[in-house]
Structure 1
Amino acid sequence: MSFKDKRNPVSGRWARTTGLITMLILPLGLAACNDPVDVPPLDSQQIGYRGTGMEQVSNPGLDALLVKLNEVPPPIYDPVPADGPMATEIYQNIQVLGDLTADQFDRLMAHITEWVAPPEQGCNYCHNPENLADDSVYTKVVARSMISMTRQINSDWGDHVVQTGVTCYSCHRGAPVPANIWFAAPPPTTKMVGWDGGQNHPVEAINYSSLPVDPFSAYLLNDEAIRIAAPKLCPVPMMRQSSRLKKPML
């Protein structure tokens, strides 16, 4: 009797039936998922030096969804003319936005309230309602630093943000705390033998890649220099010193 004759015909039919059912049900299951699924074909673009894994992978099928998720909401109020009394003439303790008129200042505050503050708190999320100039509310001090940071990015990092720029909405998306925030990662578990250079540990902050476990603390916490890998020769500035925002002075 040959090997072919010894096969179990029932097992073969069962395997074929199971495979057919899987092929029919799997697409339906994927379509029912709430999260989009990366399916081929995918596009990749090299954005850095060869051999360093610096590439941008995108899914053409999800590009339209990403564009939709990143649409900027329409402004609450139309732009106002740059005339009239300055904000410093109307309000007290203006440390960062002293170059705005009172109308421009009010318009910006209205947008920040919409982009960041919880609806049930509104202006009181950052301000003491009894004294708007008071700095005792911690979120007001943080908001002032965030405004300084946003202005610095738009003025000093034009090669990155180009004409689009950034606003509070770029990160907050209507939430008091952005969904994607950075925090110092705990040190990796050491091994008895060898040294892995702090790499190849499953950490969400680096998308579970082989990058160093904590590549951000040196720049965001320790204020070390940042090198920029740009697509053009000798970008200006080629190297910038990251600066931790200090509390603005009067």
Structure 2
Amino acid sequence: MSPLPATVPAMVRTRVRAAIRRPSRLTPKEAEARALLLRLCSLLLQYPDRELTMARQELASAVSALPSSPAAEQLAAFVSWFADEQPEALEQTYVETFDLRRKSSLYLTYYLHGDTRRRGMALLTLNQRYRAAGWDTGGGELPDHLPVVLEFAALAGTGGGEAPLRRHRRGLELIHRALTDADSPYRHVLATLLTLLPPPTEADLAAVARLAAEGPPDEEVGLAPYGSFGDGEFAPPDTFMPPAPAPTSRTEGHR
């Protein structure tokens, strides 16, 4: 019998690591802890309206009660800043960070599809996934808004619930890089989230570098704000409207 190829041990190690990290193998306690981390990330990435800022001490207590881990350390660093800032400063920081900078936008399909027809289909598919799971987003945000995706992941579980996060792994990496470059406290929340996902591959890192340098696709045709032509319908083929920006009223303290 011929000897095994030299690549086989490496392949075996890769598969073993993947099996260990596979969310479906988590114990019920681990799955519950994972869901809590996802829900905390979802809350902390939402616009800091009055309701959220009033709950800062509760959030800080929830984070301090987490078992020691790299994710818990990252969240602790964020809530330390979050708890000390004035509400008006939090609002301004959020708008400047996520609404005025495309490289740290929280709308995930933008990084994969840009302003193209494919983004409209991706939004529709994502919304159908939510409905199939019996979950209604309430229509307050687009279905690819990261806090919405995180809340779904926390509610629906590690398999299908986290699939959108895994699909948009490269976009999440780009957001984290942009926040790190800007020295934003929100980089800690993205770092927490990335600890829950498989590590990036060489192909992922190369794609993120290209995305950072070139931006996403920019076919400026056929995309209207999601749902503006009906429940999940698309704009006419000859119509172009960019994705709806975050509400300007945010700067006035109203979400």
Could you say whether these structures have the same fold, taking a TM-score greater than 0.5 normalized by the shorter chain as the test?
Answer: no
Name the one with the larger strand percent. 1
| More RCO (CA 8 Å, sep 6+) | 2
Which band: TM-score by shorter chain? 0.3 to 0.5
TM-score w.r.t. structure 1 length? Answer: 0.33
TM-score w.r.t. structure 2 length? Answer: 0.33
